[in-house]
Chain A
């Protein structure tokens, strides 16, 4: 904490209560949640209005609690800490040390934007959720609070840190988001949503599945009555069309959800904070202090690589948060042109050397092992196929060993690491690639390990452990190193990490 100095400019005192419209926002949230089930119940089970009334009585305690919270809530920013008080009967007072604050994010749903208010969440490294949530404040007050909290953290940001305008590092346009949505792998979530909808429908309309199956069976019966021979073909065709329809629907949903979630994405640098602002309906603004970034990952899936795109993810010491994926907080940049990433890195890691790293390859014996493994698998498959079909043509599969070997060589070319100037780089992957950048000061532990097969070939694997691994896919690791190289690299990394101070 900087000692108070008569000449220094002290931030104006920031204190206050929740915005008067808090209760209105709360009421709307509750109403939204009960409205749809209420309508559905009223529509399908008209006789159950009594149940509905009883159910709504349960909402009263929630309203009472919200009113109490609104009336009693007080916050203020003292030197070095944020103090939040609430409650009448059970009073809680929470002190959050400003220098432990990892992130301060602002969230605005559609209603918030109409009313000119926002929700503020203050996050530290401890715990899974926000240390303090202020719902709701006026936008001006929220911004003032953000400045006070982030600006008052006591690090030497310089006197004019607040006066500088934030520097925009990257913008993600609609076209890139469109491509990103098309190449995203969120198909699984679509099925989850569909499953949820079906399950809910089952609750409301009993025997939904049986009724649907019977209806479908009857329709199929009618439709195929006149075409007995082509029943199988028709069924297959229908099935294929359905599958195709599902894939298309999934793609459309994926694109739309990306566009809505990340609309107008802007990554800017304000002092030491990386600020992400995005969202079409719900506008979100999230701050991440640069020095809290533990490791950066640049991921290029095969589909994205074809378009020259990549995703950039950063882990902070706060670790994984709930709903990070659905709120878009698991990415630093949801989609970006790959060639622009290099220019972006020095803004995230100010000490990063300007020159690109000199990559070291791993052991070429890895190629031999990969080829042998592929050959064994292919031999097994060929033998199985030959036995199943009873013809020697199954052995033709063995010819795939050649492309497998080529693939192994390409994979080997892309597997590499670089250590220098306080940073460790690792990269791997041929079709879909991932590159990790770790400042050595963030290394918590280094592990080398070998399987019996590794030992036979004199190879070893190395894994670097950092704090808060959540979104970067398991941390930097290098496989297929020469055993001696692995030992030396681990030793060097651990020693250098020990010399460097781990910044909070």
Chain B
């Protein structure tokens, strides 16, 4: 492998930046909703097994436990862990996005491969004052890379910075 010659334009200067801390609240809320639905389904399942076979306490209780566990994971554990695990960095050549708690992923996108950059803000995101930045390449499986949970101003600034670097490499 070639030696790691650094660019004269100082690409090692950039540091990894975290998402906006408010995204934890957003993810907790989303986790609440998803977890709530799951929990409700489990409770229903537990009630149904209890009604069909009153002696099967263990199974009914099992449903309840699974549902509660899923809810707790989605609202209490996952959001803060995901927040700590997600970061991004933009330097002169590459956008790098790291994410993932169990499966840790690092996506590197050469800036000159960006086809276009989107800002997306769902209703819940808007309530928290956040947006997601989505970059598109001409690739197949990594055709879009998302940086979630950015403050509105930060997202816009990042988008401007990326759009500046987009070359004319259209397919």
Contacts and interface: CB of A to CB of B under 8 A. Distances in A.
A449 B100 CA distance: 9
A125 B169 CA distance: 14
12 contacts: A444-B113, A445-B107, A447-B107, A448-B106, A449-B105, A465-B143, A468-B140, A469-B140, A494-B109, A497-B110, A498-B113, A504-B170
Given A125-B171, A445-B107, A465 B112 contact: no
B142 A444 contact: yes
B104 A475 contact: no
- The CB with the most chain A CB atoms within 10 A, among B2, B141, B143, B167, is that of B141
B103 A450 contact: yes
A469 B112 CA distance: 20
Contacts of B112: 497-499, 501-502
A161 to B, nearest CB: 24
B102 to A, nearest CB: 6
**Which 7 pairs from chain A and chain B are nearest by CB?**
A444-B139, A498-B110, A465-B139, A469-B140, A494-B108, A445-B142, A502-B169
Q: From DSSP, what is the main secondary structure of chain A's interface residues?
A: mixed
Contact of A499 (B93, B102, B145): B93
A319 B140 CA distance: 9
B94 A491 contact: yes
B169 A475 contact: no
Interface residues of B, number: 33
Interface in B121-171: 137-143, 145, 167, 169-171
A504 B109 contact: no
A48 interface: no
Contacts, number: 115
B43 interface: no
Contacts of B15: none
B108 A489 contact: no
B110 A447 contact: no
B1 interface: yes
Interface of A: 125, 317, 319, 360, 419-420, 443-452, 455, 463, 465-469, 475, 485, 487-495, 497-499, 501-502, 504
Given A449-B105, A498-B110, 15 more contacts: A317-B171, A443-B110, A445-B142, A447-B142, A449-B100, A449-B106, A465-B139, A485-B1, A488-B1, A491-B4, A494-B93, A494-B109, A494-B110, A495-B110, A497-B113
B46 to A, nearest CB: 31
Nearest to A504: B171
B137 A444 contact: yes
Interface string B82-117: 000000000001101000101111111111110000
Contacts of B142: 444-445, 447, 465
A10 B96 CA distance: 47
B141 A465 contact: yes
Contacts of A487: 106
A452 B104 CA distance: 8
B139 A445 contact: yes
Contacts of B140: 319, 444, 465-469, 475
A363 to B, nearest CB: 14
